[in-house]
Structure formats: C-alpha cells, structure tokens
Amino acid sequence: MAHDSIIPRLKKWHDEDEHQKIIDAIEGIPRNTWDYELSSLYARALNNMERYEEALKILLDIEEAGREDGVWYFRVGYALYYMDRKEDAAEYFQKAVDYGDDDEDTRYLLKLSLEAVERKRQGRSGEYNPELYREEDVNCIESHIEKYFGKFKNVFHEVVSPDIHVDIIIIEPVPERSYYVLVTSGMGAHRMHVPGELKGLERAELMVCLPPEWDLQNLNDENCYWPLRWLKIMARLPIEQNTWLGWGHTVPNGGPFADNTQFTTMMLLNPGAFEENSCECIMPDGSTVNFYQMIPLYEEEADYKIQNSAEKLLEFFSDEDLEYVKLDRKNVIRKRV
C-alpha cells in the first residue's frame, strides 16, 4: 500500500522540526502497511526525538531494502553514534558515503566517530600510522587468495586502523566447496617477533571457514559476528602483546565466544581442505606470508592440547571436523572421558 499522499506533509513537518507530529501520524497508519520510505521517515523522526534504540530497531527491520541506500546507512550510523557505539557508527557512516550519501553532515559525523574511537583505543591524541602493505603486496596477496581459496567480490573494509589495516575478504560457497571462506588481508604487513630459529614465520594472514547458512548480513548480532571479531583480535594480538602466532598456537577467550556456541578457544592450523601450497604466499620482496586457519575448540580440547600437544589433539579429529566451523560439533575430548 502506497502512502504518497502523506509523504509531503511528513517532509514539511521535518523541515519545521515537528518530529512528534511525524511519529503520531505514522503510528496512526496500520503497521503492516508501512513501506520502506514510511518506515525510514519514522526512524528518522525517532532519531530526532532521541529515541535511538527504537529507531535502530525499525531500521534493522528494513535492512534488506536499505542495503544499497546511503541514507539508510546514515540513519543507522546516527542512532549508533548517539547510543555511544562510535566504532559501529563509523562503519555505517563510511558505508553511507560509499553508497552515495556524501552529505557534509555524514562526513562530519564520520570524522567525529573516528576521532572518538581513536581517543578510546589509544588514550591519547595523534594520527594513526598503521603498517600497510604496498600496492604490489596487496596484489600478490589477493592473487594468492583467488588462486587457492576462491574468487571473491565482497570485502569487509576496515574503517578504523590504528596499527594495521585488516580487511576481511569474503569468498562465497560454490558447488565444489559448500561453505564460506573468510580471509584477512593486512595482518602480514606487520612482521612478528619470532624466535631466531623460526625465520620465515614473521608474516601471517588468517582465515576461518563458515557453514553456508551463516548470516553475514546480520553482523550486529554477536552470534553472527564472533568469527569476524576473532579474525581481527588474532590479527592484532602479535602487535598488542609483542609476540607471534603460528601453527598449533591457541588463544583463549575466557568463556564461550557467543551465546550460540560453547567454543572458548581458537587454534591455528594450516588450511587443511585446500592445496598444500595454499599455506604460503611468496611476496615480491622474497619474504613469505603464512596462511593459518582458525579452528574453534571446546575448553577440554584446549586443555588437552596444552597438557599434551596440538599433534596429539589432532589425532582425535576427522578431516570433516576441521573443514569449517560446525556449531554442533562433538567435543572430541569429553566423549572419551
């Protein structure tokens, strides 16, 4: 059902800052008849009345229709900004610009969001100076990813990059590989501090494989976002703790990653379901970037690995267990106790 007759009135009230009138008028229309435009104008009025959580809920309800609308991204970013979720807001403001909402207000709120994140993360003023790949390095990494893991069209571009710039490349399921492959691009710009005898392991990128039903469009939900969050956490850990990551290393979360899983720890392995050469990319300068796959473990499995070894733990796993994240995977240690 179209609501063309009321739209001019709503826009006039907006120009006159009569936002409550807009809310009252739209609430007088049956909710099941609202179209995308009416819902969007309702959310804008809620934002202007400082009812940000309600506005965000309405906007997320129309996310499917708003995915290529810069104004939708701006309104989500606006709600998040005033809910003090500045980092999330920055990502939406950047998407708003990417989708054509290059308004002065959008640019200004993006700038404020980035500055707020910088203050929070660094605790001081100053410009970011992240370690970055050169253009030829990026081309080399992307060629390696496409050759061994699959062609890609989508990338989650990082907006805030205080130390390294970590994008996440999304490779969609295909008939011969029925799951998502998510791969970082940027971690390897930093050379980790590895023991002298392990020369050649200074640079790394990470990946995680997710089942085809995983909802990558609903990343406001931690049940969907936690694997991506951990790609970023693991990518930055060597910088933050002046250490290194490699095959068999485990990193605990201190509890389950999210409400939808009892996995508590990440382990790094070579990409087992791909060609042997997929784990090493030779860069233009002759150095090697090593690719590791994140495998989530249960607490008992992580404890067993620490007490014994990664090799001993892997004896209990089938190849299928390690192919991609299975939330219903059996605990290979508990079932033997």
Q: Is the pLDDT of residue 306 over 90?
A: yes
Of 302, 304, 282, 198, nearest in space to 245 by CA: 198
User: On the CB side of 205, how many CA atoms lie within 13 Å of its CA?
Assistant: 33
Q: Is the pLDDT of residue 130 over 90?
A: no
Mean pLDDT of 219-244: 92
Mean pLDDT of 55-69: 93
State the pTM of this model. 0.66
Position with higher pLDDT, 84 vs 226: 226
Cα(266)–Cα(233) distance, rounded to whole angstroms? 11
Each domain of the chain, given as residue ranges in start order, spans 7-122, 135-336
Q: What is the pLDDT, as a whole number, of residue 107? A: 86
Percentage of the chain with pLDDT > 70?
Answer: 95
Digit-coded pLDDT (tens) for 178-193 = 999 999 999 999 999 9
Task: Report CA torsion sign: 177, 182, 186, 191.
Answer: negative
The full length of the chain comes to 337
Of 220, 251, 219, nearest in space to 235 by CA: 251
Cα(188)–Cα(288) distance, rounded to whole angstroms? 9
CATH code for residues 7-122: 1.25.40.10
Q: What is the pLDDT, as a whole number, of residue 334? A: 79
Report the range of poorest mean pLDDT among 62-66, 126-130, 156-160, 189-193: 126-130
Cα(304)–Cα(52) distance, rounded to whole angstroms? 46
CB atoms within 10 A of CB 242: 9
Digit-coded pLDDT (tens) for 3-14 = 678 899 999 999
Helices (H), strands (E): how many in the chain?
A: 12, 8
Match 């399921």 to its residue by tokens.
173
Mean pLDDT of 215-243: 91
pLDDT bin (cut points 50, 70, 90) of residue 335 is low
Q: What is the pLDDT, as a whole number, of residue 122? A: 61
| Torsion on CA atoms 45, 49, 51, 56, rounded to nearest 10 | 30
